[in-house]
C-alpha cells in the first residue's frame, strides 16, 4: 500500500519527511564522493527533499533551514518548520560512521509541537509521533554526551565534579537521542549551535520526559530572529539541578 502523505498529521509528516531525506542521504553516501564533495552533496540532497515535501504538503507554513536563506516572514508566521537536513555533516562524510541525523521540527505559536530525528544509518527515527519511554538508567556513573570535535572545556570540569564519564559523538540530534536511548544520561553543550541543530531533538526529548534547557536553566526559545542558540542541556530530570548549579558557580568559560 502506498502512503498518502496528505493524510498525515504533523507528527507523522515530520517522521515521513525526515525518513525521505534520510533515504536520499544513504543514496548519496554510496556515490563514491569524499570529503567536502560528499558533505556538500548530502546537504544539498537532503535540503532538496525536505524543501520539496514542505512546499507540496505544508504550503502555508514558514520554514527555517540550515541550508536556505533565512526568510524573516517566519517571525510573523504561526507555524514554522525548523529543519536541519543533515546534522553531523562531518560524520556523514566519514563512512561508515553512523552518528549523523535529519532533523524536522514544527514550532507553532510559541512552542515546539512536533519533531522527528532520523538516524538513517541506524534505520531508526525518534519522534513525537510515538514518544519514547526512556529506559531505566543502566549506569550509576553519569555519562555525558559531548561533541567529538568541539567539546566545551567546562564539561570536563563538570564531569570531574560529578564523577561523570564523557562520551564523544557527532551530531546534536544523535547526542540528544543517546539520552533518550540510555546510551548517555546527559548532553551538555556550549560555545555555539543554531536553532536547527537542537529544535527537533528537543521536541523529541521533551516528549520523552527529559529535562531540556539552556545551560543556565532558562527555557530554550525557538523561532527567535537570532538563529544562534549556542548552549543547552538535555538530561535525565534528576541530573538537571547538579548541572545547572555547576554552571551557576563556575560559568562556561
Ligand atoms: N561551537 C559551535 N559553533 C557553531 N555550531 C556548532 C558548534 N558546535 C557544534 N555546532 C553544530 O552543532 C551540530 C553538532 O555538532 P557536534 O557534532 O560537534 O556536536 C553541528 O551541526 P551540522 O553538522 O548541521 O553543521 C555543528 O555545526
Ligand atoms: Mg546541525
Please check whether residues 148 and 118 belong to one and the same domain: no
Q: What is the mean pLDDT of residues 109-132?
A: 97
What is the 23 CA–ligand 1 centroid distance (Å)? 22
Give residue 171's domain range: 143-250
For residue 137, tell me if it sits in a domain.
no
Please check whether residues 55 and 117 belong to one and the same domain: yes
From the list 108, 106, 67, the residue with the least C-alpha distance to 87 is 67
- On whether 66 is known to bind a ligand per the annotation, the reply is yes
For residue 61, tell me if it sits in a domain.
yes
For residue 149, tell me if it sits in a domain.
yes
For the stretch 185-227, pLDDT in tens is 999 999 999 999 999 999 999 999 999 999 999 999 999 999 9
CB 125 near ligand 1, within 6 Å: no
Q: Is pTM, for the whole model, over 0.80?
A: yes
Q: Report the nearest atom of ligand 1 relative to the CA of 84.
A: 24
- On whether 98 is known to bind a ligand per the annotation, the reply is no
For residue 228, tell me if it sits in a domain.
yes
Q: CATH number of the domain that 235 lies in?
A: 3.40.190.80
CB 193 near ligand 1, within 6 Å: yes
Instruction: Tally the domains of the chain.
Output: 2
Please check whether residues 100 and 148 belong to one and the same domain: no
For residue 132, tell me if it sits in a domain.
no
d(CA 129, CA 118): 13
Q: What confidence tier does 6 reach under pLDDT thresholds 50, 70, 90?
A: confident
Please check whether residues 94 and 163 belong to one and the same domain: no
Res. 108: pLDDT tops 60: yes
Whose Cα sits closest to atom 24 in ligand 1?
Answer: 87
Please check whether residues 152 and 97 belong to one and the same domain: no
State how far the alpha carbon of 226 is from the alpha carbons of 111, 120, 196, 203, in Å.
16, 30, 12, 19
107 contact partners, CB below 8 Å, separation of at least 6: 79, 80, 81, 82, 113, 199, 222, 223
Please check whether residues 74 and 149 belong to one and the same domain: no
For the stretch 142-191, pLDDT in tens is 999 999 999 999 999 999 999 999 999 999 999 999 999 999 999 999 99
Residue 4: the pLDDT is: 84
Please check whether residues 176 and 211 belong to one and the same domain: yes
ipTM for the whole complex: 0.99
What is the 140 CA–ligand 2 centroid distance (Å)? 30
For residue 135, tell me if it sits in a domain.
no
CB 197 near ligand 1, within 6 Å: yes
Query: Cell match 527567535: residue?
Result: 224
CB 65 near ligand 1, within 6 Å: no
Amino acid at each position: 500500500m502506498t502512503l498518502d502523505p496528505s493524510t498525515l498529521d504533523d507528527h507523522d509528516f515530520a517522521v515521513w519527511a525526515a525518513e525521505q531525506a534520510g533515504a536520499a542521504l544513504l543514496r548519496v553516501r554510496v556515490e563514491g564522493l569524499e570529503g567536502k564533495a560528499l558533505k556538500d552533496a548530502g546537504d544539498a540532497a537532503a535540503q532538496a527533499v525536505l524543501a520539496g515535501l514542505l512546499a507540496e504538503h505544508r504550503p502555508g507554513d514558514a520554514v527555517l533551514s540550515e541550508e536556505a536563506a533565512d526568510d524573516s516572514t517566519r517571525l510573523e508566521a504561526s507555524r514554522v518548520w525548523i529543519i536541519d537536513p543533515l546534522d553531523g555533516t562531518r560524520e556523514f562524510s566519514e563512512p561508515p560512521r553512523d552518528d549523523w541525523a535529519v532533523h524536522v521540527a514544527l514550532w507553532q505559536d510559541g512552542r515546539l509541537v512536533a519533531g522527528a530525528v532520523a538516524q538513517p544509518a541506524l534505520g531508526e527515527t525518534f519522534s513525537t509521533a510515538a514518544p519514547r519511554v526512556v529506559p531505566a538508567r543502566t549506569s550509576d556513573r553519569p555519562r555525558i554526551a559531548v561533541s567529538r570535535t568541539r567539546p566545551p572545556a567546562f564539561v570536563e570540569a563538570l564531569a570531574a565534579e560529578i564523577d561523570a564519564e564523557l562520551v564523544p559523538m557527532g551530531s546534536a540530534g544523535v547526542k540528544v537521542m543517546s539520552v533518550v536511548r540510555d546510551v548517555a544520561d546527559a548532553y551538555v553543550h556550549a560555545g555555539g549551535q543554531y536553532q536547527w541543530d537542537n529544535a527537533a531533538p528537543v521536541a523529541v526529548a521533551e516528549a520523552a520526559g527529559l529535562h531540556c534547557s539552556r545551560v543556565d536553566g532558562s527555557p530554550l526559545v525557538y523561532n527567535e530572529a537570532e538563529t544562534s542558540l549556542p548552549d543547552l542541556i538535555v538530561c535525565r530530570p534528576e541530573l538537571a539541578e547538579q548541572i545547572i548549579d555547576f554552571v551557576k558557580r563556575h560559568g562556561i568559560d
